[in-house]
Every structure is written in structure tokens, then in C-alpha cells.
Structure 1
Amino acid sequence: MTDAPLGRSATYAILNTGYTGSTGPGVAATVSYVTDGGRHMVFDPGMVASPDDILGPLAGLGLTADDITDVVLSHHHPDNIMNAGLFPRARVHDHKAEYLGHAWHDRDAEGYELTPSLRLIRTPGHSPEDITLLAGTQSGVVAFAGDLWWHSQGPADDPVAPDREALRAARLRVLAAADLIVPGHGAPFAADGDVPL
């Protein structure tokens, strides 16, 4: 059985293409906008040079911070969550709960469907709490995978991963479901045989 969502109506845009110290002037997250079924979400609103690097592209889509209904955090490292506070009206999702205002609702991310085209799965490896958002689009399944891959080159041996075998298993799981991968700190790339495991 595949993890891929059954629906294929989601759309997305990359708001900021991230980089790491080896590929850019510092560290910035790849921040994405995903929409389906009336939900407007931002995935991994992390470190960027300026909040305008997130809010400007959103404005180009005709959206403001108040239009964002959901924020999904792949894991709790600062470089992936730094700007979550830009979206005060959004429900925030992580590996174990949903948060809104002062409300905290426990739920496991594994298999959680935001819509028939948007599903969360647990993908520990880079950190114990990693999750991936799988989005069914007309052109295939897009995996917003956070730091399972920093960029298209991996790294194959993630220096901060506490469990190398868990990381490899999570990568294989994502590759089995996805056509395109959006990594934590780089441009999207095809989920094919050239992907580092």
C-alpha cells in the first residue's frame, strides 16, 4: 500500500529556495505554499534573509499572512521554524499535535489527512520528530520532506542525523510515494534513481 494521497487537486509554489553554508551565504529554508480544499498552508517557514522573502512571494499569489490557514513544521530545528509566528491565525501542525492560539490538540501525524490530497506521514531520521507532507497534484505526488534531504545532493551521510538507518528507511518510504521532492534547503528534484539514500 502506498502512502500517496488519493486526491490530485493540490497546487503549490516555492516561496523561497533555501541553501546551506556550502551552497549559499548562510542558511535559509526552502519555504513552500500549498493549497487544497480551501486550505492555504505554508510548509517550513524557517530561516530566510528577511520575512519579505516569504511574505513577498505570498503577496504575488494574492495572499497575506492572515490568509494562511495552516503551517506545517517538518521538525523543530530553528532553521525550519524561525518564521512560524508570521502566521498568527494559522493552525500549526507538527509530529504530535495541532496548535491554534492557546488550544493544543494531540494527534499523531502518521497518516493524518488535511484533505484527500494532503497527507502527513512520519519520516524520522534527520531528527526523531520529522514529518513529510505528501501533496497529490495533477502532475503527481510532491513530497515536502524537510531535511530528509537538504538539497538534491543529500547529503548522503547527514552529519546531524541521530539514526542513519531510520533516515534511509524514511527516504525510501518517501521515494516510494513521491514523484518530486522539495528538500529543506534547495530546489525541488525528481524522486528517481539519482537521489542519495
Structure 2
Amino acid sequence: MPAEVKILVEGYTTADAKAENRGEEKTCATISLIRDKDLAIVVDPGVLESQQILIDALKKERLALEDVDVVCITHSHIDHYRNIGMFKDAKALDYFGLWNKNACEEWREYFTPNIQILKTPGHDYTSITLFVSTDEGVVAVCGDVFWKENYPKYDVYALDPEKLENSRHLVLRMADWIVPGHAGMYENVRAPFKEDKEQPVKKSTDTQPFCRKCHRPMQKNERCLCQPSICIRCCECNLDCDLCGCSHKRK
């Protein structure tokens, strides 16, 4: 019997470098539920105004927190994993393995006959996508491989734009439906990116990264090593930080 995918909380984000947004960033990851026979998986229980929102969404599916078997994190950005601690009895699945309390084992690519897990790096280096076989076709729960429907075309926060482009093509080849990182599920019509498939992949120098805090464009040497999505002016590391040294660079 095929599995099913439902959206528990539809996400959103204002972290758009094209938007002239000089105010506070507002972000919520899309939280999904995958059910495969008796297995219940919650994907990306990120940041919420209240955890009760997620509790109520699960209740509508006749589930309590303790009924969730696995909580999956598509990548290591806090807006996607902030509420993982709500699921005290569940195993945790991320890029590095399947965690049961303090024990970790490698996950199988075919997690179940209906769920395939593949690494899809680019937005960050720890990204994974779950490809779920359903009655409606294959649903890709892909985190920030796409933020919204085929958007953004060029992710200014991507750590490796070339790998991200390859990951996007993989998702678009395999999926009939896509659950992006910050919007509702949509049908994969394959047109917008398929046309560019034979074109050379954009290198990282073709995109201009923007600081997620001040929204100013950053040169490569202005990115914080600890937090590459912010600039050295916005870094809050201590003066003696051994890794980034942003406090010294500002002088």
C-alpha cells in the first residue's frame, strides 16, 4: 500500500534577497507528515510562534507527540529543526544518520519500500530529500532545495550553487509533487528548470550573496566563517573566536 504525505503547517519566509525587506526576517519551515503503514514521520518541526500549533495539527491526524516514530531534519538550519525536542520518544533522522537517543546508525537509502532518502546538498552541505511513493505519484519532501514553487531560481544563501543546481535537477527528474521548504505542496510540471538543464551550471561567482541580517551584498571575504549567511559586521562571535575572527576584521 502506498504511503501518504500531508502538510501539517505550511511554511513561509521573507528571507528573499530580491525583496527590499529591511525589517525583521519572518520564517517558518513547512512541517510535513509522512505515514507509511504504521510508521509516522514528522519532517522539519522548525520554528513556530507556539508549539501548540503543531500539537493541534497532529491531533487533526489523530496523532499525539508520542505517536510519532521518527522526526526528520532535511538540513541543519535552525528554522527547520528548532522544535525537534518536542518528540522525546521518536528517533531522529538527519544527514548523518538515524539517532536513537545517543546511538546513531546509518540510514538505509530505501528507508521503507515507499520511502527513498537521497543526499541533496547545495543549500547547505547536510541536505537530504525524502522521495515518497503515494497514490498521486512520488512526493519529494526536499527542504530548501526549493523554498517555494520553483523558487528562488538562484539561491543567494546557497553554500554551493553548483551542487544545489544538481540537486534540483535530481528532484525534478524524480518527483511528481514537491514539498518545498517554505510553502505548500505543488505539482512538478518540470518546465521552468528543465529548459536550462543542458546549460552550464552557474558557478558561485555568478550569484551575489546577501547578509540575512542587514541584507547588504557580501563579498566572499566579508562572510562570517562560523555563519556564512551573515556578514562580518553582523557577526556576534566573541573577540577571541578561533574560527571566524570577524571582530578583528571589522577593525
Pair in the same fold by TM > 0.5: yes
Determine whether 1:14 maps to 2:28: no
SS in 2 for 1:147: helix
The 1:195–1:43 alpha-carbon spacing in structure 2 relative to 1, beyond 3 Å, is farther
* Counterpart residue type for residue 164 of structure 1: P
Contact 2:172–2:190 (CA under 8 A) maintained in structure 1: no
Match of 1:120 in 2: 117
Cα root mean square deviation, aligned: 1.9
In 2, Cα distance between the equivalents of 1:44 and 1:80? 5
Gaps spanning 5+ residues in structure 2: where? 17-24, 197-251
Map residues 1-197 of structure 1 onto 2, 5 A cutoff. Answer: 9-21=2-14, 26-105=26-105, 107=106, 112-195=109-192
For residues 74-127 of structure 1, give each alpha carbon's deviation from its aligned partner in whole angstroms, at most 9, with x where no partner exists: 01100000111111111111112111122222x2x5x61221001110100100
Deviation (angstroms), 1:193: 3.0
* 1:12 positional shift: 1.8
Give the letter aligned to residue 102 of structure 1.
N
Please state how far the C-alpha of 1:191 moved relative to its aligned partner: 1.3
Distance 1:195 1:19, change over 3 A: farther
Cα distance in 2, alignment partners of residues 83 and 161 from structure 1: 23
Contact 1:37 1:115 in 2 (8 A): no
1:67 counterpart letter in structure 2: D
Any gaps of 5 or more consecutive residues in structure 1?
A: 1-7
Contact 1:144 1:183 in 2 (8 A): yes
More strand by percentage? 1
- 1:5 is matched with none
> 1:136 Cα shift?
0.2
> Which deviations, in whole Å up to 9, do the C-alpha atoms of 1:4-41 show, x marking residues without a partner?
xxxx6101210000000269x81101000001032101
Q: Percent identity?
A: 33
What is the deviation of 1:53?
1.9
Residue 111 of structure 2 aligns to a residue whose secondary structure is strand
The alignment partner of 1:74 has SS state of coil
Partner SS state of residue 12, structure 2? coil
Q: In the aligned structure 1, how far is the partner of 2:52 from the partner of 2:137?
A: 30
Give the letter for the 2:96 counterpart: K
Q: Tell me which amino acid in the other structure corresponds to 1:120.
A: I
CA shift, 1:47, in A, is 1.1
Amino acid at match of 1:95: Y
Q: TM-score, normalised by structure 1?
A: 0.89
TM-aligned CA distance change 1:39 to 1:167, over 3 Å: same
**C-alpha distance in 1, partners of 2:53/2:64?**
13
Once residues 50 and 73 of structure 1 are traced to their aligned partners in structure 2, the CA distance between those partners, rounded to angstroms, is 19
Aligned counterparts of 1:124 and 1:22: Cα–Cα separation in 2 = 20
Q: Helix, strand or coil: the match of 1:175? A: helix
Asked whether the equivalents of residues 95 and 122 of structure 1 are also in contact (C-alpha less than 8 Å), the reply is yes
